[in-house]
Amino acid sequence: GAGVSQSPSNKVTEKGKDVELRCDPISGHTALYWYRQSLGQGLEFLIYFQGNSAPDKSGLPSDRFSAERTGGSVSTLTIQRTQQEDSAVYLCASSLDGGTGGRETQYFGPGTRLLVL
């Protein structure tokens, strides 16, 4: 597609359930990023993939959060045993290349709004 796509657009779940959020980056973009946007914390960087590899997972809020990327394309962010504080908008972004140069611009998807009841 032309841009980053995310699904679902909205997700309502019950506390304690697991959820999977999907991100499909711009074709050809090797770098992929996940962010969380909440009223209390603003925009937080969660994790970065270069290809299928995520060298640093320290930004994930807890061990209930995990992310994977297969085939260098689609990524899934999984939240296990969801809590009410997990309610937020989860944004995905991609860029042509990540690396440490920082030159590449990140293009964002429309996000998934997660509500945990």
Q: Is residue 27 within 8 Å of 96, Cβ to Cβ?
A: no
| Identity of residue 93 | A
Identified binder of other proteins from the candidate list 67, 91, 114, 116, rule CB under 8 A: 91
Q: Which is nearer to other proteins, 16 or 68 (CB)?
A: 68
Nearest to 23 by CA among 84, 85, 88, 67: 67
Residue 58 binds to other proteins (criterion: CB under 8 A): no
Token pair in block for residue 64: 């209930």
End-to-end CA distance of the chain: 33
| Identity of residue 69 | R
Interacting stretch for other proteins, rule CB under 8 A, among 17-25, 71-79, 80-88, 107-115?
107-115
In angstroms, give the least distance from the CB of 16 to other proteins: 26
Residue 35 binds to other proteins (criterion: CB under 8 A): yes
Residues in the chain: 117
Binding site for other proteins (CB under 8 A): 31, 33, 35, 42-43, 45-46, 48, 56, 59, 89, 91, 93, 98, 100-103, 105-111, 113
